[in-house]
Amino acid sequence: MGLISNAYAQTVSSGVESSLMSFLPLILMFAVLYFIMIRPQMKRQKEVKAMLSALSKGDEVMTSGGLLGKVTRVADQYVSVDLAEGVQVQVQKAAITAVLPKGTLKSI
């Protein structure tokens, strides 16, 4: 009788351990996914939001279409960009992909 109860106790404990071990790869995959994909994307979104909120008149920018110009006016959703002498376009703030260092555009 003592042998049966010992064997029963061993199967119960190994069953709990095996169910925890079956979830371990899933938890590890989620952790890797978070640190490799989700966290860097959230960081990039935060940087873009900060860049767009700090946009001001006189900044030299590049749009998503590849246009380079100098900001002449900033509104809530739109930005006026001077591309060349007398050529001014209005683009959405979301279309601004980069703020260039001062002095990059010398012809404007």
Length of the chain: 108
Q: Check whether 4 has a pLDDT greater than 90.
A: no
Q: Which helix (H) or strand (E) holds 89?
A: strand 87-92
φ/ψ of residue 49, rounded to 5: -60, -40
Q: Is 108 part of any domain?
A: no
What's the pTM?
0.66
- The range of the structural domain enclosing residue 96 comes to 56-100
DSSP secondary structure letter of residue 24: H
φ/ψ of residue 7, rounded to 5: -65, -40
Query: Which residue has better confidence, 104 or 36?
Result: 36
Residues 45 and 62 in one domain: no
Residues 49 and 19 in one domain: yes
pLDDT, tens digit (0-9, with 9 covering 90-100), for 46-103: 999 999 999 999 999 999 999 999 999 999 999 999 999 899 999 999 999 999 998 8
Q: Check whether 13 has a pLDDT greater than 70.
A: no
